[in-house]
Amino acid sequence: MKFLGNLDIHEDYLRSIIFGFQDSLVSTTGVIAGVAAGTNHKELVILAGLVTITVESLSMGAGQYMSEKSVHQLDKEGKHTDNLYVGGLLMALSYFLGGLIPLSPILIFELPLSATLSIFFALFGLLILGYIKAHIVKVNPFKSAIEIFILGGAATLIGLVVGKIFKI
């Protein structure tokens, strides 16, 4: 599969990258928005964001490796040619980098402005991710961007609501 013009990318690697970025943008933002709404303590929000990004990037990378290894073990015809380590690393790295997007405003600005910016940064990141994915797989970029924006935005909204409900 061609990526950015001339660069070939294996479809399993593309899946790892898209999944890692999307999941991190949504999960990290949900945690940040929820903890910010529930505590209004910048240090706790930063800690929760860092823990989420670190643990989840490692977990997602390991999960990608193990799930793909299972697929490879089932594949008796040798159809799966992706490198398990590369797929796991791409998942972990994508998750880590994606998580820095909603965490960045928290590090720079004070609450509650930083939490609002975090949500906007993440939602904008989802739109960009959907748009880039559409160009890679040759589908409608507007539909792709809106789809990932709605799905990710809904999950982020739930994190915010939970934080408001269980405020401490």
DSSP string, 21-82: HHHHHHHHHHHHHHHHHHH--HHHHHHHHHHHHHHHHHHHHHHHHHHHHHHHHH-SS-----
Low-confidence ranges of the chain (pLDDT < 50): none
pLDDT at 5: 54
Q: How far apart are the first and last CA of the chain?
A: 49
pLDDT at 142: 95
pLDDT at 150: 93
- At 92, the amino acid letter reads A
pLDDT at 152: 87
Q: Are 38 and 25 in contact (CB under 8 A)?
A: no
DSSP state of 3: E
Q: Are 66 and 76 in contact (CB under 8 A)?
A: no
Return phi, psi of residue 140, to 5°: -60, 115
pLDDT at 29: 93
pLDDT at 4: 52
pLDDT at 6: 57
pLDDT at 148: 92
User: Residue 136: which residues within 8 A CB-CB, separation 6 or more?
Assistant: 1, 2, 3, 9, 14
DSSP state of 7: E
